[in-house]
Chain A
Amino acid sequence: MSETGTQTVRFVRDTMLPEAAPPASQSGAVKWLRENLFSGWLNTILTILGALVLFQILRGLVPWFAHSVWNAQTLGECRQIIAETWGEGARGACLAVVRDRWTQWTFGFYPAHLYWRPVLALVLLFAALAPILFSAVPRRLMAFSALFPFVGYWLLWGGTIWTPVVALAGFVVGYAVWRGMAKRNALAAVLLAVAAALVWWLFLAGPVERALAGVAPLALESVRSSSFGGFVLALTIGVSAISLSLPLGIMLALGRQSDMFLIKTLSVCFIEFIRGVPLITLLFTASLLLNYFLPPGTNFDIILRVIIMVTLFAAAYIAEVIRGGLAALPRGQYEAADALGLDYFQAQRLIVLPQALKISIPGIVSTFIGLFKDTTLVVFVGLLDPLKGITDAVRASTDWKGIYWEPYIFVGFIFFLFCFGMSRYSMYLERRLKRDHR
């Protein structure tokens, strides 16, 4: 065997090795602990410190939740129950406030006998979202998703059914004009369609609505915007602004990339202005300044104004997130689309946006989550948001005066459910759209 060294220089493999299973990984709790928690003296110290901090937090929290009381009418009664059960000086959560006042957090001052309307609207909202969010749901249900804004509006605010119907008719008018013109000149068709729809909404919708209401007075009891509050308000603003800001943000992002000077400049100015101003400023503008500028007697609904402002605010951020996605696309994708003869809109819709939006999903969803939480800022323009508006109202009542942590924990928990849901959905979507196999 002494000549092995020289023998191995000439080597020809005559059989290829079969594929073999990897060695069984050494597992076990002890190994995991040593690798992850005690791999060195520094990590050991950090682990012990972490455990101490965790212990301190849990020592406060666990008894507080364990002593919680769900059945009480007032804060005094609740504290008395805790003292009687767990001894003088024991601390516990008075979650009874949630049980006593959850309708207020949910519906604000919406009339109690009409609670079924927001609930039905919420159920229909999920039905409308299903075909948009999940590809397994039949595409035909999208028709209902398109109708939902009008149905939802009618359920929430009530009034004559002809208001949403006439508003919807504006879109039909615009579409009809576009259909009629599209063959001759695409750009003129779009402009005329928008003009026709605006004429309809501004001048014709009112008289038509009154005439129809006179003939067939189909109406729900109307609810004023000032009665809205709590999560109904947060969801109304949040869902509307989310669904409106995505298309607007896409248009702004494409506008910012445009070769056309005017469109590019307008998009850049809009984005930079909106991003440079705090949301509260925009909300104050919506609630106060617009009243000075609009003709006296105009009743421009406050929730609608807030939705518009929140939408514009979120759209500017989404535009920037999507611009990041557009920038991440290799130039070759645009060139291949051009070389195949696709026009600008086809290339954007079929090649560029599907890829850019996929890249932007985490950023877009982060913006949506931020937007939803920012809806609590409407408290500054006198609307009753769940976090401060309703909580202050509850804490101002004689029954629950002095309660502090429990309402905030409850509201925070509900917000967490929605935001965590959105976050998980974004991860699901990313997994589903993962196709590059890199």
Chain B
Amino acid sequence: METIERAVDTSHMKVSDEVAIQISQMNKWYGQFHVLRDINLTVNRGERIVICGPSGSGKSTLIRCINRLEEHQSGQIVVDGTELTSDLKNIDKVRSEVGMVFQHFNLFPHLTILENCTLAPIWVRKVPKAEAEETAMHFLRKVKIPEQANKYPGQLSGGQQQRVAIARSLCMKPRIMLFDEPTSALDPEMIKEVLDTMISLAEEGMTMLCVTHEMGFAQAVANRVVFMDQGQIVEQNTPREFFNNPQSERTKLFLSQILGH
């Protein structure tokens, strides 16, 4: 919890009434295993949601369903007005509007930092190369590593790589950002630089869904915390209520385990 040092003022971060993501009655199985059970979740534009829960609770699977890296078997997921079905056109449309940051960064090791950032705008958005590079440099400056633009991912530290991954997603000008445990693979010293980047993104009003164990981040930035266990949403509440006054026994146990030491 000590990682977040700067006070984050969330008062100006307005949440609009417009719905960004609507998940209703969604179920998913891996073979016989029922990973996600009856998920109902509505995310408004500008909302910052932290999803937490014990490992194996299905939280990563849930956000991976939102850009269909995982397929759901029943129920409905509507992202930005587009329903995710097996229609490839819809999937590509959603994916180009939704940015994703992975636990293991997943940068393309054979391309430079700049090429990593310009690849998708050039090939998916058909942006001219010069313009794509300009945008890429803008976002690299924003994540504070413009000087690394011509290096390869293997030459960067974990924290720097994750910031590049964030910049790479931002270059597609997404309206929603998904974070799948973005700091779990990082050394403690590097977690802060990535969280700072995410906070500044939140301050600009980005709609964010973040699977993380960084409870400090949740308290500082999120306007809703979703707690999952055994493939179900067990509790969701404002961070203040969630941490100070948890309702379910499962939540209390989880909080006592992660905050207890």
Contacts and interface: CB of A to CB of B under 8 A. Distances in A.
A341 B96 CA distance: 5
Contacts of B88: 343
Contacts, number: 70
B69 interface: yes
A346 B120 CA distance: 10
Interface string B75-119: 000000000000010001001101110101111111000000001
B108 A336 contact: yes
B135 interface: no
Interface string B210-242: 000000000000000000000000000000000
A358 interface: yes
Contacts of A433: 110
A333 interface: yes
B168 interface: yes
B110 A355 contact: yes
Interface in A239-278: none
Interface in B160-210: 168-169, 172
Nearest to A333: B106
A125 B192 CA distance: 57
Contact of A438 (B99, B119, B154): B154
B254 interface: no
A437 B106 contact: no
A340 B106 CA distance: 11
A214 interface: no
B106 A435 contact: no
Contact of A335 (B99, B106, B155): B106
B30 interface: no
Contact of A341 (B92, B105, B155): B92
Nearest to B171: A340
Contact of B119 (A339, A340, A355, A435): A340
Interface size class of B (residues with CB under 8 A): 20 to 34
Contacts of A355: 108-110
A330 B108 CA distance: 11
Contacts of B124: 340-342, 346
Given A332-B102, A336-B102, A336-B108, A341 B95 contact: yes
Contacts of A332: 102, 104-106
A393 interface: no
Contacts of B105: 332
A283 to B, nearest CB: 39
A27 to B, nearest CB: 32
A285 to B, nearest CB: 40
A350 B119 contact: yes
Can you list the 3 inter-chain pairs with the closest CB atoms, starting with the nearest? A437-B154, A341-B96, A336-B106
Given A340-B120, A342-B123, A346-B123, 14 more contacts: A330-B104, A330-B106, A332-B105, A332-B106, A333-B106, A335-B69, A336-B108, A338-B95, A339-B67, A339-B169, A340-B124, A341-B124, A343-B88, A433-B110
Interface of A: 330, 332-333, 335-336, 338-343, 346, 350-351, 354-355, 358, 433, 435-438
26 contacts: A335-B106, A336-B100, A336-B102, A336-B106, A338-B67, A338-B69, A338-B95, A339-B98, A339-B99, A339-B100, A339-B102, A339-B169, A340-B120, A341-B92, A342-B119, A342-B120, A350-B119, A350-B123, A355-B109, A355-B110, A435-B152, A436-B110, A436-B152, A436-B154, A437-B152, A437-B155
